[in-house]
Amino acid sequence: MAEPRRITAAALMATAALTLGACGATSPEMLSAGNVERAVERVDDHPDAAASLVDSSFRLGAVMLAGADPHDNAVTSPVSALYALSMLRAGAATTTAAEMDEVLGLPPEHRDEAMNALLALWQEHDGDPGSVDEDEPPETPLLHLANGIFVDVGLQVGEGFLETLASQYGSGVYPVDYRDSSTADAINSWISGHTGGRITEAPVDYDPDTVLSLLNTVYFAAAWETPFDPADTAPGTFTLADGGTIQTDLMRQVTTATYASGSGWSAVDLPYNEGFHMRLILPAEGESPVMTAGQLKDVRVGMESGSPVDVGLVLPKWDHKYHQELLPLLRGMGLTETMGPAPDFSPIGPDLFVSGAAQEANITVAEKGTIAAAVTQITMAESGAAMPDVELIFDRPFQYQIIHEETGMPLFMGTVMDPR
């Protein structure tokens, strides 16, 4: 197989200024691969691939919610995770690519084109997150997605990979020096700018050994089609999973909305002003709100045949944030090679592996509407050494000896029963 043509981030960097000041307040300038133009794609041209991606997002969402601490208020963005993983898939080859397709349920053909088409639809609602007054969610919903790849200046990256990200994901390359700690500030500045300041730090801890970061952000702000009257909001009882109760502010209204029910669930689609709704799923009493991908599909099918009814709705206000490490979840799904020590990401560069994957998300729901943001980050590093033949983990009592090599005499011997 022919070696992919590679370009260095340093070479790209020479064509434009890179601002990484000591204050770290400015994001680096985005440089596209060979000035590649964004391809124009339509969902109607790739309906099967687009439908598969919707299924994949729910599959990811089910895993992410199931992997959350059951005592936490989980907030996740399956779309953000899917976008980041799809960008990673664009750089996968051989068995790693096959594993990602099978485990994530990615379409066998036109995957990147369908992602492009979906993003194009959402960009009809694009706007500046920094323009939103969070106390007054916009009457016209705002949905802003951004993709970025931050590449170390010394890494040689496959040009075909960068061209795919530029043409199908609208993502250029940001050349950075990961050995310079101000790079962390630059990445955080990029995230903050694309999430309206709701998220100010990358979800993966900064590591100077990183050579590449794939990032996706999602920001959403919208007013309800029928706002809740604050005069009707009053304290009420909320029953916890363990049967205990608390008092919290409950919003109330009677509204017309699509409703359906099925085995163990009832659901309503509460509309925003244009093109979006919040699906609220109430499990049967005593049942968990965490559902499998199959159960979520049952809800989707049920809601497709649901009908508008007058709903007397009682809904708590909430303002939650959540951090989730994705590596263990993705490995648990079956991405053992992809997220392991020896995957095949040769279209990106040789000897690369995923060193981190995480998501940060938050949401505010109140009488006037909803504000939410998320960022997903996948970091990559270069393999520094061959995998060992044997692994020893000293996580139980052990003995040690200090030996004089020439005589074989033990200068010290001891045991570690408790290393504290």
CA of residue 317 relative to chain centroid, distance: 24
Pair of tokens at residue 9: 């981030």
Q: What is the pLDDT of residues 277-296, one digit of tens each?
A: 888 888 888 888 888 889 98
Residues 138 and 191 placed together within one structural domain of the fold: yes
Query: Tell me, what DSSP letter sits at residue 407?
Result: T
Burial class (CB in 10 A: 0-12, 13-18, 19+), 313: middle
Distance CA 298, CA 302 (A): 6
Please indicate, yes or no, whether residues 310 and 241 belong to a single structural domain of this protein.
yes
Mean pLDDT value across residues 249-266: 90
CATH, residue 364: 3.30.497.10
What the block records as the tokens of 157 is 């990256």
The rounded percent of the chain whose pLDDT value lies above 90 is 54
Q: What is the mean pLDDT of residues 228-232?
A: 95
**264 plus 126 within the same structural domain:** no
What separation, in Å, do the N-terminal and C-terminal C-alpha atoms of the chain show?
53
Give the pLDDT of residue 171.
Answer: 84
In tens, the pLDDT along 157-196 reads 998 999 999 999 988 789 999 999 999 999 999 999 999 9
- DSSP at 207: -
Residue 409 in any domain: the answer is: no
Cα–Cα dist 313/310, whole Å: 9
Residue type, 241: A
pLDDT of residue 104: 96
> Residue 34: phi, psi to the nearest 5?
60, 25
At 11 the pLDDT is: 45
Rounded distance between C-alpha atoms, residue 404 and residue 47, angstroms:
71
Q: Which tokens hold the place of 65?
A: 């919610």
The string of pLDDT tens digits covering residues 333-359 is 999 999 999 999 999 999 999 999 999
Percent of the chain with pLDDT over 70: 83
Domain-located, residue 291: yes
Q: Please give the pLDDT value at position 92.
A: 97
Confirm if 183 and 177 have CB atoms less than 8 A apart: yes
Residue 384 has a pLDDT of 64
In a domain, 395, yes or no: no
Which residues constitute the domain of residue 131? 6-222+321-382
148: which 2 tokens?
Answer: 């970025």
Tokens 């706007």, residue located? 127
pLDDT score, position 3: 56
In a shared domain, residues 166 and 77: yes
Classify residue 85: in a domain, yes or no. Answer: yes
More confident residue, 31 or 222: 222
Q: Based on the domain organization, do 217 and 259 belong to the same domain?
A: no
The whole-number average pLDDT for the span 131-151 is: 94
| Whether pLDDT at 270 is above 60 | yes
Mean pLDDT score, 355-367: 94
Q: Any idea which of 101-105, 217-221, 239-243, 348-352 has the lowest mean pLDDT? A: 239-243
Residues 268 and 158 in one domain: no
DSSP string, 17-67: -----TT--SPPPPB-GGGPPPPP--GGGSHHHHHHHHHHHHHHHHHHHHT
Check whether residue 92 and residue 128 sit in a common domain.
yes
Average pLDDT, the chain: 85
Let me know whether 350 and 285 are in one domain: no
Q: What is the pLDDT of residues 72-84, one digit of tens each?
A: 888 899 999 999 9
* H-assigned helices in 67-110: 78-89, 94-104
44 lies in the same domain as 188: yes
Q: Is the pTM of this model over 0.75?
A: yes
Any domain includes 370: yes
Instruction: Tell whether 187 and 302 lie within a shared domain.
Output: no
Q: Specify whether 257 is located in the same domain as 115.
A: no
Residue 22 predicted with pLDDT over 50: no
**Per-residue pLDDT at 16:** 31
What pLDDT shows up at residue 33?
Answer: 46
Residue 217, CA atoms < 13 Å, CB-side half-sphere: 28
CA 282/CA 265 separation, integer angstroms = 6
